[in-house]
Amino acid sequence: MEITIKDKVHQLRATFGFLAEIDREMLGETSKKDNPTIGAGTGLAQAVIQWQEVGDICALRDIVYSLCNHEAKERPTKKDIEGYLESCEDLDIFSDEVISFLYKANVCRKALKKMADPMGAAVKEEMDKLKQGELKA
């Protein structure tokens, strides 16, 4: 996927570097050191939830910024990306393209699929039984 900011084409790449970058953006520098149970993709899941469920445009900005992490010399700034998002003709379409791109990327797929089904099938089954009166709360 690519975007053009200030007449420069930027390739968006979902790599291990992207996961590390989005973790830093969303969780802070010391979060993994302080809590080693936090896995790669935790920041990604948080960013996607903040954007899709809460509408936090800064989360979308951070996703796009992190997807440009491989462009050390020509990387757009957060302010550049904010300008891009502000002038985007259809933010919903762009957002859908970014999220779809992430779902297709090998390094993101598993974390996003797990996020889409946070309760798991067993818990859902128990909830269904509870709703149908087969279990008592």
Q: How many domains does the chain have?
A: 1
Q: How many residues does the chain have?
A: 137
On whether residue 136 sits in a domain, the answer given is: no
- Residue 111: predicted pLDDT: 78
Question: What span, in angstroms and rounded, lies between the C-alpha atoms of 74 and 92?
Answer: 26
Model confidence, pTM: 0.77
Query: Is position 91 within any domain?
Result: yes
Burial letters 35-73, b for 16+ CB under 10 A, else e = eeeeebbbbbbbbbebbeeeeeeebbbbbbbbbbbeeee
Residue 137 lies in a domain: no
Q: Is 41 a domain residue?
A: yes
The enclosing H or E element of 16 equals: helix 16-27
Domain that holds residue 122: 2-131
Taking only the tens of pLDDT, the chain with its 137 residues reads 999 999 999 999 999 889 888 888 888 765 556 666 566 677 888 888 888 888 889 999 999 999 997 766 788 999 999 999 999 999 999 999 999 999 999 988 887 877 666 555 555 566 666 667 665 54
Q: What is the pLDDT of residues 70-103, one digit of tens each?
A: 766 788 999 999 999 999 999 999 999 999 999 9
In a domain, 35, yes or no: yes
Enumerate residues 6+ apart whose C-beta is below 8 A from 120: none
In the three-class reduction of DSSP (H, G, I as helix; E, B as strand; rest coil), residue 12 is classed as coil
